[in-house]
Structure 1
């Protein structure tokens, strides 16, 4: 297993957590290629991801219904991570602002259609960071990922392999038999975590290299020196 680079794998995993419409599914062969080319996660986990991609391709439109039922109904499997941290409290707004500032400090702009705490956006941001910083950043919310994985496993979802792969990249072992909180009330210990502090913007990808789709490079003002 390659340990020198994880950027393309992080972006591939982010893609696998996106709504599986026709455009998303059309890129699955490329995702398979990217995961195998970078070789950042083990063969067993890649086989699980291949099985997920095969299902998404086979189900077509039905995969979209399954996705909505899985991720958009119930907090236990929500991909907006601040749902697990702040719920609907007023603290969520300032936390969102802080996260956007973390992206902007790295020279990245969030697509207006996206919320900054969605796991796909967090993974795309991590993909722009050096390996050490990316792993540390993921480690800040690994406890939330552990709970989501457990909730997905309880529902028999093969999407659990995607989050397990993210934990693999961060060097965070998947907790066996982790307790899954009820959908209505997540663990109270998550209410005030020291999470999402951001990581260094040093080591950003060089110009001309592939960039995240939903986080965009800030463009210099017109006429500014380049």
Structure 2
């Protein structure tokens, strides 16, 4: 069985969401989607299932603490993509507005409190788009996904599997457990989470904002 890429992207988006009660309740459904993924290799699929199993078995407070430690403390593994490109520089604000407009041009109204460059939000957007745009956009930000994924590998986090899966979906070079861990690059200065969008209309959108 071949899984529609929209379901796969929503599953990966959910796995990168804060592991509160509604996510834990959805883990069996997310696992069912992951088991049918045909665009990632068996090893990556097993890594995703291991992450799901870890989240299922973990004490909720421990799972939440691990998530905060990984993704909310410092920039090196931030899920806000433009932090890795612009830091706190003025260019980040302009890029954020452009990305939000890209969502609006596609007929998708961002909801919730996350910024437009938050990776789970981007993945939900791409889940409403075609495969070609999905691969192009993930390819454009592959250098960020790879850097974050390699850092997670270095920290022996099962969340690295999500980044490996995204690189495979983009059909680009994957993670490297032996890669040196660089500092955050180009800094200008020192399923059922709430949906990221209010509807699923999808006319053409503008080129990616994630190129180097």
Q: Indicate the TM-score class for this superposition, using the shorter chain for normalisation.
A: 0.7 to 0.9
2:41 alignment partner in structure 1: 42
Partner of residue 195 from structure 2, selected from 188, 209, 213 = 213
Pair 1:113–1:187, CA change in 2 (3 A)? closer
If the length of structure 1 is used for normalisation, what is the TM-score?
Answer: 0.80
2:205 alignment partner in structure 1: none
Structure 1 residue 168 displacement after superposition:
0.6
2:185 alignment partner in structure 1: 187
CA–CA separation in structure 2 for the residues paired with 1:38 and 1:47: 11
CA–CA separation in structure 1 for the residues paired with 2:90 and 2:200: 29
2:105 alignment partner in structure 1: 105
The 8 Å contact of residues 149 and 175 in structure 2, kept in 1 or not, is answered as no
Kindly provide the CA deviation profile for residues 135-167 of structure 1, in whole angstroms up to 9, marking residues without a partner as x: 111111000001001111111111000111011
Pair 1:175–1:20, CA change in 2 (3 A)? closer
CA–CA separation in structure 2 for the residues paired with 1:12 and 1:6: 10
**167-176 vs 95-104, which deviates more?**
167-176
CA–CA separation in structure 2 for the residues paired with 1:179 and 1:109: 39
1:86 alignment partner in structure 2: 86
After TM superposition, list the pairs within 5 Å mapping 1:122-141 onto structure 2: 122-141=122-141
2:16 alignment partner in structure 1: 17
CA–CA separation in structure 2 for the residues paired with 1:179 and 1:97: 33
When Rg is computed on C-alpha atoms for both structures, the one with the higher figure is 1
Gap regions ≥5 residues in structure 2: 189-193, 202-212
Structure 1 residue 101 displacement after superposition:
0.4
CA–CA separation in structure 2 for the residues paired with 1:179 and 1:38: 30
Aligned residues: 194
1:197 alignment partner in structure 2: none
CA–CA separation in structure 2 for the residues paired with 1:187 and 1:22: 34
Structure 1 residue 120 displacement after superposition:
0.3
The 8 Å contact of residues 109 and 217 in structure 1, kept in 2 or not, is answered as yes
The 8 Å contact of residues 128 and 200 in structure 2, kept in 1 or not, is answered as no
1:33 alignment partner in structure 2: 32
Root-mean-square deviation (CA, aligned residues, Å) is: 2.0
1:68 alignment partner in structure 2: 68
CA–CA separation in structure 2 for the residues paired with 1:99 and 1:113: 15
- The 3-state SS of whatever aligns with 2:28 is helix
The 8 Å contact of residues 138 and 170 in structure 1, kept in 2 or not, is answered as yes
- Higher relative CO (CA 8 A, sep ≥ 6), structure 1 or 2? 2
2:116 alignment partner in structure 1: 116
If the length of structure 2 is used for normalisation, what is the TM-score?
Answer: 0.85
CA–CA separation in structure 2 for the residues paired with 1:95 and 1:16: 25
The 8 Å contact of residues 77 and 151 in structure 2, kept in 1 or not, is answered as yes
